[in-house]
């Protein structure tokens, strides 16, 4: 069955890299460009995994993550932070909100695939 | 909450490189005795050389005496600039090697004709300043093709500003995280990006500016670091 992946990032480039990275696998990638849109998209699409930026307009990734954890329908969704901000304070805040992983930008597509496979399993398209 | 090293290990993130940790200590030590600053600088060969070169206009080496006298002569503001420059160059190099497999060579100058994509980001808090990056439009288009390959839009100009903005965000985010881990807390703005021939830049009275140039086999770029004196000094 297709895995559902949600990328929440204000950079179109990052959203496109995530889509391109998962194109060879059986999955559907949807995207949102800020934290608030991201929470809405998560409620609508019920993704199997979310990749979340931190620095975004309207609502930051950490605020969106807190919101997701407080929303029963999506509270248990694995969320992986994908961000350039990886100081001790941000790491601690994300850890307290039970992130499933933390990938620091600059990143490579392989890192996303490996972690996603480990967390929810991925199969290649035939 | 577990401490920073535990969290880095938990999420399998690379520990901070030795020189960044050392520079962090240096930033924290700014209000302390200049002998301590000299001692920390001395533990890094490149930093020692750079500090002495700036103080002696390229004539000195990196002996203990030379570093100590350079620290006294330059004063905290200039040393601060050297340290911040080291941190931002570290972040820029990391971004280019990881995402573009393209190490950067420092240059004394570059010659660029035509429009460039200029990105600017602000950091505010215990340290205040700006980082500006300038990339020729053709080089920015090449970066788009490297990042996105066949997925790139037919007209790369559609996404060029976003790509330069995000690169600056990554460089600025790493720089800012290093400062935070060094005890200099600050926040980062969302980047602003525009395409024009020359940068539009007004420099404040208090601001110090350092311009650096880089080249790879595929592109040239400039990076400007503008910083205000550390708040704690005032
Ligand atoms: Mg962002």
pLDDT in tens, B217-228: 889 999 999 988
Question: Is B20 a residue whose pLDDT tops 80?
Answer: no
Which pLDDT does position A38 carry in this prediction?
97
Min Cα separation B169/chain A (Å): 7
Cβ atoms of B227 and B128 closer than 8 Å: yes
**CA distance to A77, B79, B90, B157, B222, per residue, from B48 (Å):** 49, 11, 16, 42, 24
For the stretch B211-224, what's the b/e string if a residue is b when 16 or more beta carbons lie within 10 angstroms of its beta carbon?
Answer: ebbbebeebbbbbb
- For chain A, the domain total comes to 1
Closest CA to B203 of B103, B129, B111: B129
Cβ atoms of A10 and A55 closer than 8 Å: yes
Question: Is B101 a residue whose pLDDT tops 50?
Answer: yes
Is the whole-model pTM more than 0.90?
no
DSSP A47-87: -SEEEE-SS-SSS-HHHHHHHHHHSTTTTT--EEEEES---
Which pLDDT does position B132 carry in this prediction?
96
A18 located within any domain? yes
Q: Which residues surround ligand 1, an ion (CB under 5 A)?
A: A 10, 53, 55
Which pLDDT does position B31 carry in this prediction?
59
Q: How confident is the model at residue B149 (pLDDT cuts 50, 70, 90)?
A: confident
Distance of CA A62 to the CA centre of its chain: 12
Of B98, B166, B177, the CB nearest to A13: B166
Contact A16 B159 (CB under 8 A): yes
A126 located within any domain? no
Q: How confident is the model at residue B37 (pLDDT cuts 50, 70, 90)?
A: confident
CA distance B210 to B84: 10
Decide if A106 touches B, using CB distance below 8 A: yes
B58 Cα–ligand 1 center, Å:
39
Which pLDDT does position B211 carry in this prediction?
92
A55 Cα–ligand 1 center, Å:
4
Residue A80, domain CATH: 3.40.50.2300
Question: Is B1 a residue whose pLDDT tops 70?
Answer: no
Contact A92 B1 (CB under 8 A): yes
Please enumerate in sequence order all residues whose Cβ is within 8 A of that of B46, keeping only pairs 6 or more positions apart, or say none.
B19
CA distance B190 to B43: 35
Q: Which residues of chain A have pLDDT under 70?
A: none
Query: B171 to chain A: nearest residue by CA?
Result: A84
A113 located within any domain? yes
Min Cα separation B8/chain A (Å): 8
User: B196 or B178, which is more confident?
Assistant: B196
Q: How confident is the model at residue B233 (pLDDT cuts 50, 70, 90)?
A: very low
Spell out which residues of chain B touch residue A96, defining contact as CB-CB under 8 Å: 1
- The token duo for A109 is 């597509």
H or E element at residue B192: strand B192-196
Cβ atoms of B139 and B110 closer than 8 Å: no
User: A21 or B54, which is more confident?
Assistant: A21
Spell out which residues of chain B touch residue A101, defining contact as CB-CB under 8 Å: 11
Contact A84 B165 (CB under 8 A): no
The yes or no reply on domain B3-227 and CATH 1.20.140.90 is no
For residue A16, give its domain range.
Answer: 3-120
Which pLDDT does position A72 carry in this prediction?
97
Decide if A95 touches B, using CB distance below 8 A: yes
A125 located within any domain? no
Please state which of the ranges A59-73, A112-126, B78-92, B135-149 shows the lowest mean pLDDT: B78-92
A8 located within any domain? yes
Decide if A70 touches B, using CB distance below 8 A: no
Whether the bond into A106 is cis, omega within 30 of 0: yes
């Amino acid at each position: 069955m297709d895995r559902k992946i949600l990328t929440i990032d204000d950079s179109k480039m990052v959203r496109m890299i995530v889509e391109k990275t998962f194109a060879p696998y059986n999955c559907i990638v949807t995207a949102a460009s800020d934290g608030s849109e991201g929470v809405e998209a998560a409620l609508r699409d019920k993704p199997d995994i979310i990749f979340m930026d931190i620095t975004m307009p309207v609502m930051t990734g950490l605020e969106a993550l807190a919101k997701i954890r407080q929303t029963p329908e999506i509270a248990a969704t694995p969320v992986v932070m994908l961000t350039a901000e990886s100081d001790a304070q941000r790491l601690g805040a994300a850890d307290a909100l039970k992130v499933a992983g933390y990938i620091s930008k600059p990143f490579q597509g392989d890192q996303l695939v490996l972690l996603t496979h480990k967390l929810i399993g991925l199969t290649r398209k035939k | 909450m577990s401490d920073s090293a535990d969290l880095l290990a938990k999420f399998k993130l690379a520990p901070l490189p030795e020189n960044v940790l050392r520079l962090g200590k240096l930033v924290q030590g700014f209000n302390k005795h200049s002998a301590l600053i000299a001692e920390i600088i001395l533990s890094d060969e490149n930093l020692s050389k750079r500090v002495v070169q700036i103080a002696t206009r390229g004539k000195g080496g990196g002996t203990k005496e030379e570093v100590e006298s350079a620290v006294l002569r330059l004063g905290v503001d200039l040393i601060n600039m050297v340290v911040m420059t080291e941190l931002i160059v570290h972040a820029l190099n990391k971004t280019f090697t990881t995402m573009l497999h393209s190490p950067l060579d420092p240059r004394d100058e570059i010659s660029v004709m035509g429009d460039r994509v200029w990105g600017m980001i602000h950091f505010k808090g215990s340290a205040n300043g700006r980082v500006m990056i300038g990339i020729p439009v053709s080089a920015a288009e090449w970066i788009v093709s490297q990042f996105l390959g066949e997925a790139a839009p037919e007209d790369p100009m559609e996404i060029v500003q976003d790509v330069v903005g995000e690169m600056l965000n990554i460089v600025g985010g790493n720089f800012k995280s290093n400062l935070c881990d060094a005890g200099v807390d600050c926040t980062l703005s969302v980047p602003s990006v525009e395409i024009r021939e020359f940068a539009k830049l007004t420099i404040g009275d208090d601001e110090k500016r350092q311009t650096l140039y880089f080249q790879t086999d595929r592109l040239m770029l400039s990076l400007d670091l503008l910083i205000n004196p550390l708040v704690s000094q005032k």
